[in-house]
Amino acid sequence: MRLLLVLLSLLALAACGSTRQAGLGSLGPRPYVAEPVSCVPYARARSGIQLAGDAWEWWDAAAGRYERGRDPRPGSVLVIARTARLPSGHVAVVTQVLGSREILVDHANWASGAARGRIATDQRVVDVSPGNDWSLVRVWYPRINALGSTAFPARGFIHPHQAMAAR
């Protein structure tokens, strides 16, 4: 039990961000995930995608194990690449596709300060890539109640269905 508490504490100190409490959404009831939490264990619990490592590592880790692509689908995981500002990258679970360039996601630990480690549900993400290919995104920032001004490079979406080679 003590080891579990230590592991949960370490996970809480890991990378990624958010703000609102989890509730019911378009993907149905969420598994219990205690706050504070980083984006990786939250995305794993919400999506069922069993990958490890920092968020930025998920894209390559999914190769041959899960279907990957540029098309958002409910239940898929958006992988945001690591940057100087986001050294561990970020992962978020798609809850709804609103249009060809807009989705809603659930994610954890997207915010800073007192909101760090919190879960945010149904947050907007907009594709701002020149080729409309989800390679560059802007993410809702609850503190300012608007999309953030930073455009983050995205690797794509990992779909929860296992790849044929891995079955």
Q: Where are the domains of the chain?
A: 2-166
Q: Taking the CA of residue 59 as centre, how many other CA atoms within 13 Å lie in the half-sphere pointing to its CB?
A: 18
pLDDT tens string 127-139: 999 999 999 999 9
**Predicted pLDDT at 124:** 97
| Per-residue pLDDT at 94 exceeds 60 | yes
pLDDT tens, 51-90? 999 999 999 999 999 999 999 999 999 999 999 999 999 9
The correct CATH number of 2-166 out of 3.90.1720.10, 3.40.50.10490, 3.50.50.60, 1.10.150.120 is 3.90.1720.10
Between CA 38 and CA 53 the distance in angstroms is: 12
Query: What pLDDT, on a 0 to 100 scale, did the predictor assign at position 30?
Result: 57
Q: CA dihedral defined by 56, 145, 102, 63, rounded to 10 degrees?
A: 10
Q: Structure pTM?
A: 0.79
